[in-house]
Amino acid sequence: MKTALIGYGEVGRILAEDLRAQGVEVTAFDLKLHGPGADALQAHAAAHGVVMAASHVQAVAGAELVVSAVTASQTVAVAQAAAPGLAPGAFFLDFNSASPGAKAQAAQVVNAADGRYVEGAVMTSVPPYRIRVPLLLGGPEAAALEPLLNALGFAARVASEQLGVASATKMCRSIMIKGLEAMVIESFTTARHYGVEDAVIASLQETFPGIDWENQGAYFFQRVIEHGRRRSEEVREVAQTVREAGLAPFSAAGTAERQAHIADLADAGAFGARGAPGFARSADWRVEADRLLADIQRNPT
The residues of the chain that CATH labels 1.10.1040.10 are: 167-298
Residue 270 is predicted with a pLDDT of 83
The residues of the chain that CATH labels 3.40.50.720 are: 3-161
pLDDT at 277 over 50: no
Rounded Cα distance, 110 and 84, in Å? 9
Q: What is the pLDDT of residues 179-203, one digit of tens each?
A: 999 999 999 999 999 999 999 999 9
Rounded Cα distance, 163 and 140, in Å? 7
Q: What is the pLDDT of residues 7-37, one digit of tens each?
A: 999 999 999 999 999 999 999 999 998 888 8
The mean per-residue pLDDT over the stretch 42-51 comes to 97
pLDDT at 4 over 50: yes
Whether domain 167-298 has CATH 2.130.10.10: no
Rg (CA), the chain: 20
At 281, the pLDDT band (50, 70, 90 cuts) reads low
Residue 268 is predicted with a pLDDT of 87
Alpha helices in the chain, H assignment, sequence order:
10-20, 38-48, 56-60, 75-82, 100-112, 126-129, 142-151, 165-194, 197-207, 213-244, 250-267, 285-298
The mean per-residue pLDDT over the stretch 255-259 comes to 97
Q: What is the pLDDT of residues 99-149, one digit of tens each?
A: 999 999 999 999 999 999 999 999 998 989 999 999 999 999 999 999 999
Assigned superfamily of 3-161: NAD(P)-binding Rossmann-like Domain (3.40.50.720)
